[in-house]
Structure 1
Amino acid sequence: MAEAVNPDRRKRPAPPAPPPDRGSRAHFGSEVRQRLDEMEGQLNRRPAPPSAVQPHLVFRVPLVKSAPPLQMKELLEGAGISVVSIEADNAIIAFRDELDLTSFREVLDGYEQGPATNPKTGQPYKSTGFDAIEYIQIEQMRLWNREDRITKRLADAIGLSGEAIDSDKCYVVDVELWHRGSVELARAATVELKLAIQSSNDPNDRVCDTFIGQLICLARISVKGATLSRLLDLDIVGEIELPTQPSFDIQQARRATERDFPATPRPPVDGPSVCVVDSGIATNHPLIANNIGHAESILTTTETATDQNGHGTMVGGLAVFGSVLGCYEDGSFASPVTLYSARVLNDENRFDDEELIIHQMRRAIEVFTRDPYRCRVFNMSLGGDSAWKQNSDRQSIWAECLDILAREFNVLLVISAGNHDLGFGFSPEEAEAILTTYPEYLFRDECGLTEPATAAIPITVGGIAEHDAPEVLRGAGKNDINLGIARPHQPAPLTRIGLGINDAIKPEFVASAGNLSFRGFAGSKQVDVERGMSVMSLSNEPTKQLFAFDNGTSMAAPLVARTAAAVWHKLRDELGEEPQANLVRSILAASATVPMPAQDLIAPRHGKEGIRKVCGYGKIDDDFALQSGDRRPTMYYQGAIPIDTFAIFEVPIFDEFRDANGKKRITVSLAFDPPVRRRRAEYLGVRMQYALIRGKSVDEIENAYRALEEQERAYYGRTGEKPQGAFQGSAKCNLQPSSKVLASSTLQRSSWEFMKSKAEYGDSYYLIVRCDRRWAPESFIMQNFAVTVTLEADEPRLFNLVRNRIRLRDRLRDRQRSRS
């Protein structure tokens, strides 16, 4: 009989790291007791809360980084102490109704007594059920205080401790109350808050709105500064936030007409251009009409290129203007970008049923790459509605087609990562779940990339939120709870995440994709689109209204396409010929960084790998992509390399760079466009990688890499594994992420940061770029690629130093060596 398979079977989690060595149980137990005594002394010295408001005990129990917080949670709850929060830094927030720590001391008694005796062996057990105590960082254990209750935004208004509160000023704030695990206790918390507010006897102090859920308890209140100051000491209060003030009036934008803006100038001839492959474009829109170079239907079923559903016009507006909101607020719409439109979607927003997708995509690219258009950047905010890798570990046909076309035509294709619907909640329970599980739900399998976002050579763009401020509201609901799910520069609630096929870095970049809002009155909350937090662009019905609002990575992709078009145009002028799309991709990667709010949100639970899955290389700095800075010069090379060879590039290192104050950084980015085949387990037919070597001569490097090739053949034949690189230790700069992480990506970017570097390593480092055949046919002998190197330091002369030594953004010294 066959063995039954349990599909839900999972690996057991790895056991936690052992706690730090705390010495004897008696000694460590006495240290913990001393800290408890100090906390109780602070409790006794606190001012009494308002009458009818019960005092509570709330304290912070920080644990070492390797600690299993759930063990401590179970230990405390077994002693009658509620755990109301587990913080990102692994600290536990404990809550107890009574103002004493007797139950905690009883836990310490069990810990200090040590292991009981095993009746079978007569020997003591190795541990006790109280040993999680040893993970506590005693010196950081303390009461929850008013500084903890003040969020950063509120601190900017009232000071870190509330010292700048204006007693007579009215503050509208959002209060998060500690949720102790049941709706009844959450209701009791709101009662305590109301009693505390009523005790001020000020008729202007009031509770505007509340939400009591299974996991969270929120209130929006309007109080005078004096009352706010007292609430900062109220035990039941977890945190107080100053809501983002609405500043954008949607109704005013809806009333805007063409007459409200100066005439939109025509873009320069032969300037940057983007082709939007979508649902068409509203060619009669007055704000974009002068920027439209040509619009054409690629469909076999209709000849009209007019946008019938609005998606293409919204995408096109962002590709031309970037921030449409910024242009609206400036009162002027002007852009150097020429827009081309290839309509590939019918009135039902579907592809042509009579023709293969690759033929439709090919025809769109053929039309707009030829004269007189010469467009090389194509935006495709198109995709499926499910996570591709959830059902297949092989590349999709659609994505493979785009890879083939990108390489064949030397074009840059920009694709949206796709959206999921897990960010929407239309019941209070669903809305609460979204608010409390963001961003964790983004890491569910069903939030993976759609097709064709897994394509290897095109750029894939995910989403981040730009705003968390609602639109200007009027009437009775203007003081209702209205919270953005994400904070500015955190992942958009609807974005899909990577990785790509064979764990390639996907998406490579992120851009503004809108936000969602937790809103509604009282208990009838939902999470839905909020126009003030959405992306503003152009309407396809300009005679009714000029502007439209939407969310999703479809809105993020054209922002990257616009920057790519500007970079392509600049390079075309510098080189006097069409650059490789590889070079444009490489420069974009060199100019990207992950926003700190996104890093801070993701890193505590998912580390650097989680950041790469969500944000790739980050958000592109448009200014840096278009121009090296004085403190951040970029050198580049584009060309071709024979398969199974390596190239050596000299990277100038100056004393002024090496000795500059603070942290220095060297960033390398590499892009190439290999042959692909979805029927292969390894999707890329060629792999490339690089290493940065210091303290070695060109001859030493050349000889080492020649020898490495021979070693690799022999080692691989014996073990089936690839050996380490030619140099290890201090000679090899520690670029991160590693070549192993980047191996399956056609766009690679990594950095090495250092404080000091010895002069003995010389005034030149060397970048070694390797190209290895995997399964590419023997007829494929040359691989196109581009590489950039960026030096970054607090040295204002760095740009000129590089320019004086080599021509900036010109060909780096290329010394290719065959590995025969």
Structure 2
Amino acid sequence: MLERIGVSVVSIESDKAIIAFRDDIDLTSFRDAVSSYEDGPQSGINPTTGRAYASTQWDILEFIEAPQMRLWGRDDRIGSRLQDEIGDETQAIDDDRLYRVDVELWHRGTVETTRTGLREVRQLVEHDARDGERVGDEFIGRLLCLARVSVRGAKLSQLLDLDSVAEIDLPAQPHFDRRHARRVTERDLPTPPIPQPGGPSVCVVDSGTTSNHPLLANNIGHAEAVLTNSTTAADEHGHGTMVGGLAVFGDIRACYASGEFSSPITLFSARVLNDENRFDDETLIIHQMRRAIDVFYASPYNCRVFNISLGVNDAWLQHNNRQSLWAESLDILAREYNVCLVVSAGNHSLGVAFTADDAEEVVASYPEYLFQEECGLCEPATAAIPITVGAIATEDTIAIPVGRREDDLNRPIAEAFQPSPTTRFGPGIGGAIKPEFVGPGGNTTFQGFSSLRQVDDDPGLAVMSFSNEPTQELFAFDIGTSYAAPVVARSASLLWSHAQEQFGEEPQANLIRALLASAASVPNPTRQLLHDEHGEDGIRRACGYGLIDDDFAFDSGDRRVTLIHQGTMPLDTFAVYEVPAPLEFRHAEGHKHVTIAMAFDPPVRRRRASYLGVHMNYALIRGKSVDEIVEAYRQLSTEEREQYRESGTKPQGAFQGAFRCDLKPGPQSLQSSTLQKSHWTFSRENTDYGDSWYVVVQSQRVWAPESFVEQKFAITVTLQADEPHLYNLIQNRIRVRQQQRTRTRV
């Protein structure tokens, strides 16, 4: 309809539409027309005709805010990398320097009309062309128009003024040399040291491992084939070795760059796939999973973290409304053994393409296609208690090209720290927060020449790990959530060992999950990409609680303090925990942050309407005494039970308004999740709510059997503020309370 008034929408970005006019533009008359129709068509009767006023072609614009309209200018056309070179107002352009840039032109609906803009660019570049100035690769599709252009600074400035140009940016400069990595042998790198016995460990349940890999051999504790018709634990397909290398070393690309491979982690390998890289037809998956955990949980291995980068290719919830048998079995095993199971979210094929049309569609529709139902979590990633891991792209620069021209277009689909183009999104069963975390899973890129275009991976964008054929080459490259999961498993293993050493006893797996959540955050590029269109819910579907920062998980700091508790509580009860909130924290400069994370491992049953047999939630209360809180929640518990029996609805929790801190996401968004995390930020405290706040934790029996009377759980509370003495203030406060309790006992 907009074409009837001489305009066409050529791009919609977040919350605004970019409108291109067919002819030269004088916005004055257009704004006047819009302004006169801002309140809608004229009402009433036309005295001349005796009828209602007729509509006009401008009525479609009746709600546009004309004063906010402006032309797309040269500043809008400067890409982020180019801006770093020439400044946001082009003040640093060097007129004589040769710039090689990627030019994106507005696509005006058809190839022919779009080609006009490309001709305009070519004419500008070729007019009085200086040495090196030329148009290299070009692409015009149904949705995109791109060109690789080399121009001097003076002509670059002219390109930035062309109406047909949407954006100009410098291509990312390749730095990773795949050819060099292929030539590296074990003689070029020092032998990794053998880890100390009794230290952190990870068991990779996969296709086996390559025990003679020179960079991995010293870290392998034991490898075994588990209930499979294969007689060897060796990795014949490569997947398990890549996963195992990442579980041990984490960022192998960084290790390669530094020339140092050293890790305290011992790797165990349970091969569960047969020679065809499939599960055996005659053995139940739950038996293979149980056997793998049995073997490596017991002495002498004593492993507590298991990585399962396996899954079915389809989105489970697209065709099923119940939990899968495989996922249910992992939930049962995780609770029964008190272990951390880490599973990959799965991959799909919408992020790769091998024809020009399909490749263009990937570029144009990223990240929207990731929200399609067919990109939902695969089986068993919907499991409630295991940790599910999605993938982000950590690289957006291709490897140094081999056999390609420097003028060829090459455009990574995702920017660094945006969702990987092939990752799967949540939610889980009942809207559970899944995946809980993300890790490096690689990226894809739009590449090729002429009409031969595709979207595929590249060694510079892929995850780097170990090859299962080390005599041929040491390293392998691939993309997928399979390689994000072991990085999280590695963090869980290190944290488990650290917690056991600190507490002098074995921690709950719940505590490890809660601590990992407390140390995770959503990368800013992902938030900026998804927030305007999909909000916080869309961000959680993409990456849950985010990317884990190991430094935050392991220790508190001067300005960041994490309080922890693990234990059990009877069902249909509540517990109150004090949170010190010293004056210095509440009155610190800037924003103050409170983060709460809680994990529990309820009984599950896929044949129940509610998959979880127990629900838990928490609230942060301030400005009330313990007695007031206990009394309010006692009354609430009685009312809740009565009302729930009568109507099936639940009343709101005790205390509202300022007394109940506004944690986000709230309990409704978290009720189906066994790992819950929420956050509250405040800048000032206008009312003195006291220096003791309280976390109230509730448990509720949904259908758990009568024999199940207590629920294990762990909770962490993290306080963060620009107060250099925050750690000491809270530590001293806790010591005083402990001394008071000791005197009371005496």
CA distance in structure 2 between the partners assigned to 1:729 and 1:117 by the alignment: 47
Q: In the TM superposition, what is the alpha-carbon distance from 1:254 to its structure 2 partner?
A: 0.6
Equivalent in the alignment of 1:355: 283
CA distance in structure 2 between the partners assigned to 1:97 and 1:551 by the alignment: 46
1:270 to 198, 211, 214: 198
CA distance in structure 2 between the partners assigned to 1:697 and 1:213 by the alignment: 66
Equivalent in the alignment of 1:488: 416
Pairwise mapping of residues 231-270 of structure 1 onto structure 2 (< 5 A)?
231-270=159-198
Alignment-mate amino acid for residue 589 of structure 1? A
Equivalent in the alignment of 1:11: none
Equivalent in the alignment of 2:12: 86
1:594 to 522, 530, 547: 522
Q: Bigger CA drift: 472-481 or 369-378?
A: 472-481
Q: In the TM superposition, what is the alpha-carbon distance from 1:106 to its structure 2 partner?
A: 8.2
2:570 to 625, 642, 661: 642
In structure 2, relative to structure 1, the CA distance for the partners of 1:812 and 1:100 (3 Å cut) is farther
1:209 pairs with 2:133: no
Q: Unaligned regions of 5+ residues in structure 2, if any?
A: 742-746
CA distance in structure 2 between the partners assigned to 1:132 and 1:655 by the alignment: 56
1:319 pairs with 2:319: no
Q: Contact 1:477–1:521 (CA<8 Å) still a contact in 2? A: no
Cα deviation 1:444-466 (Å, max 9, x = unaligned):
11000001000000000001001
1:555 to 462, 467, 483: 483
Partner SS, residue 699 of structure 1: helix
Taking only aligned residues, the RMSD between alpha carbons, in angstroms, comes to: 2.2
Q: In the TM superposition, what is the alpha-carbon distance from 1:632 to its structure 2 partner?
A: 1.2
CA distance in structure 2 between the partners assigned to 1:426 and 1:435 by the alignment: 13
Equivalent in the alignment of 1:434: 362
TM-score, normalised by the number of residues in structure 1: 0.87
Equivalent in the alignment of 1:343: 271
Cα deviation 1:43-93 (Å, max 9, x = unaligned):
xxxxxxxxxxxxxxxxxxxxxxxxxxxxxxx4x422111221112132433
Q: Contact 2:37–2:63 (CA<8 Å) still a contact in 1? A: no
1:380 pairs with 2:308: yes
Equivalent in the alignment of 1:567: 495
1:686 pairs with 2:614: yes
Q: In the TM superposition, what is the alpha-carbon distance from 1:185 to its structure 2 partner?
A: 1.3
Equivalent in the alignment of 1:115: 42
Equivalent in the alignment of 1:288: 216
Pairwise mapping of residues 449-468 of structure 1 onto structure 2 (< 5 A)?
449-468=377-396
TM-score, normalised by the number of residues in structure 2: 0.96
Q: Contact 2:192–2:262 (CA<8 Å) still a contact in 1? A: yes
Alignment-mate amino acid for residue 212 of structure 1? I
Q: Contact 2:399–2:458 (CA<8 Å) still a contact in 1? A: yes
CA distance in structure 1 between the partners assigned to 2:739 and 2:74 by the alignment: 58
Q: Contact 2:106–2:165 (CA<8 Å) still a contact in 1? A: yes
Q: Contact 1:111–1:128 (CA<8 Å) still a contact in 2? A: no
1:168 to 76, 83, 96: 96
Alignment-mate amino acid for residue 516 of structure 1? T
Cα deviation 1:190-234 (Å, max 9, x = unaligned):
111010111242131011101001111000111112211111111
Equivalent in the alignment of 2:695: 767
Q: Contact 1:81–1:94 (CA<8 Å) still a contact in 2? A: yes
Q: In the TM superposition, what is the alpha-carbon distance from 1:806 to its structure 2 partner?
A: 2.1
Q: In the TM superposition, what is the alpha-carbon distance from 1:720 to its structure 2 partner?
A: 2.3
1:621 pairs with 2:545: no
Q: Contact 2:7–2:19 (CA<8 Å) still a contact in 1? A: no
In structure 2, relative to structure 1, the CA distance for the partners of 1:192 and 1:797 (3 Å cut) is same
Q: In the TM superposition, what is the alpha-carbon distance from 1:726 to its structure 2 partner?
A: 1.0
Q: Contact 1:649–1:812 (CA<8 Å) still a contact in 2? A: no
In structure 2, relative to structure 1, the CA distance for the partners of 1:500 and 1:630 (3 Å cut) is same
Alignment-mate amino acid for residue 399 of structure 1? A
Equivalent in the alignment of 1:47: none
Partner SS, residue 446 of structure 1: helix
In structure 2, relative to structure 1, the CA distance for the partners of 1:760 and 1:107 (3 Å cut) is closer
Equivalent in the alignment of 2:513: 585
Cα deviation 1:430-488 (Å, max 9, x = unaligned):
00111000000001110000010000000000010011101101455232100100000
2:107 to 179, 183, 204: 179
Equivalent in the alignment of 2:83: 155
Equivalent in the alignment of 1:776: 704
CA distance in structure 2 between the partners assigned to 1:807 and 1:326 by the alignment: 41
1:96 pairs with 2:22: yes
Cα deviation 1:545-571 (Å, max 9, x = unaligned):
000000000010001000000000000
Equivalent in the alignment of 2:351: 423
Partner SS, residue 669 of structure 2: helix
Equivalent in the alignment of 2:744: none
CA distance in structure 1 between the partners assigned to 2:58 and 2:583 by the alignment: 56
CA distance in structure 2 between the partners assigned to 1:711 and 1:343 by the alignment: 53
In structure 2, relative to structure 1, the CA distance for the partners of 1:79 and 1:391 (3 Å cut) is same
CA distance in structure 1 between the partners assigned to 2:121 and 2:650 by the alignment: 64
1:389 to 317, 320, 326: 317
Partner SS, residue 606 of structure 1: helix
Q: Contact 2:204–2:244 (CA<8 Å) still a contact in 1? A: yes
In structure 2, relative to structure 1, the CA distance for the partners of 1:583 and 1:754 (3 Å cut) is same
Alignment-mate amino acid for residue 701 of structure 1? I
1:406 pairs with 2:334: yes
Equivalent in the alignment of 1:537: 465
Q: In the TM superposition, what is the alpha-carbon distance from 1:126 to its structure 2 partner?
A: 12
Partner SS, residue 520 of structure 1: strand
Q: Contact 1:200–1:227 (CA<8 Å) still a contact in 2? A: no
Q: Bigger CA drift: 683-692 or 255-264?
A: 255-264
Partner SS, residue 569 of structure 1: helix
Cα deviation 1:243-291 (Å, max 9, x = unaligned):
1110000011011100111121111221111110000000010001000
In structure 2, relative to structure 1, the CA distance for the partners of 1:159 and 1:119 (3 Å cut) is closer
Cα deviation 1:362-412 (Å, max 9, x = unaligned):
010011111111110000000001000011110000000000000000000
Q: Contact 1:637–1:812 (CA<8 Å) still a contact in 2? A: no
Q: In the TM superposition, what is the alpha-carbon distance from 1:115 to its structure 2 partner?
A: 2.5
Aligned residues: 738
CA distance in structure 2 between the partners assigned to 1:735 and 1:466 by the alignment: 30
CA distance in structure 2 between the partners assigned to 1:476 and 1:730 by the alignment: 62
Alignment-mate amino acid for residue 332 of structure 2? I
Q: In the TM superposition, what is the alpha-carbon distance from 1:108 to its structure 2 partner?
A: 3.7
1:794 to 695, 718, 722: 722
Partner SS, residue 418 of structure 2: coil
Q: Bigger CA drift: 267-276 or 485-494?
A: 267-276
Q: In the TM superposition, what is the alpha-carbon distance from 1:800 to its structure 2 partner?
A: 1.5
CA distance in structure 2 between the partners assigned to 1:331 and 1:609 by the alignment: 41
Q: In the TM superposition, what is the alpha-carbon distance from 1:674 to its structure 2 partner?
A: 0.2
In structure 2, relative to structure 1, the CA distance for the partners of 1:638 and 1:126 (3 Å cut) is farther
Q: In the TM superposition, what is the alpha-carbon distance from 1:763 to its structure 2 partner?
A: 0.3
Q: Contact 2:210–2:468 (CA<8 Å) still a contact in 1? A: yes
In structure 2, relative to structure 1, the CA distance for the partners of 1:126 and 1:508 (3 Å cut) is farther
Partner SS, residue 341 of structure 1: strand
Cα deviation 1:619-651 (Å, max 9, x = unaligned):
111111111122111010000001111010000
Alignment-mate amino acid for residue 486 of structure 1? A
